[in-house]
Amino acid sequence: MWYVVQVATGQEQSAVDMICEAAAGSAALKECFCPHYKTGEKCDGVWETVEKVLFPGYIIVVTNQVERVEQGLRGVKAFTRLLGNDKAFIPLSKGEVAWIDAFTQKDNRTVQMSEGYVDGGKLVITAGPLLHHEGLIRKVNHRKKRAYLQVKMFGRMINAEVGLAIRRKS
């Protein structure tokens, strides 16, 4: 099962490192990651590919022993909180897990850049993870090379950014 851990925004990777260190040698934690996405950024007048956090303030743990993981989080010297309600920790739904799996790979939880073009005011994706997922796109920022998505994640609708390079407009 996949669970969401809330962490301090900007501290996602250090929280992942601390959780993995605390769980070293334990079979309770199968995977712990902070999903990222690749995008372009201009640095000193040159476009460079950079990685940014996909869901700021959240990381994902994969476990079949959530209670053991929750106990292990108590030993982490950073803000970490498993999402849930008063009765239980709530795992991600099959659809939410499928979305993350469709856009990333197990050993590389980074959404790659997509490519496309605009034809007569209509966005056409030609390559990348957004191919055949154009319906998720709510807005495109050509200058920042980003697509803004609205997806159901963590039990609610959230806005997310992913990289999108528009190659041409006609």
pLDDT tens readout for residues 138-155: 999 888 889 999 888 887
Phi, psi of 18 (to 5 degrees): -65, -40
Distance between start and end Cα atoms, the chain = 45
- In percent, the amount of the chain with pLDDT more than 70 equals 98
* Average pLDDT over the chain, rounded to an integer: 88
pLDDT of residue 17: 92
Dist CA 77 CA 75 (whole Å): 6
pTM for this prediction: 0.86
The predicted model gives 151-162 an average pLDDT of 87
The predicted model gives 21-28 an average pLDDT of 78
pLDDT tens readout for residues 34-61: 999 999 888 888 888 899 999 999 999 9
Would the pLDDT of 79 be above 80?
A: yes
User: Residue 88 carries which side chain, given as an amino acid letter?
Assistant: A
Per-residue pLDDT band for 11 (boundaries 50, 70, 90) equals very high
The predicted model gives 117-125 an average pLDDT of 88
Helix (H) or strand (E) holding 105: none
pLDDT of residue 170: 65
pLDDT of residue 82: 85
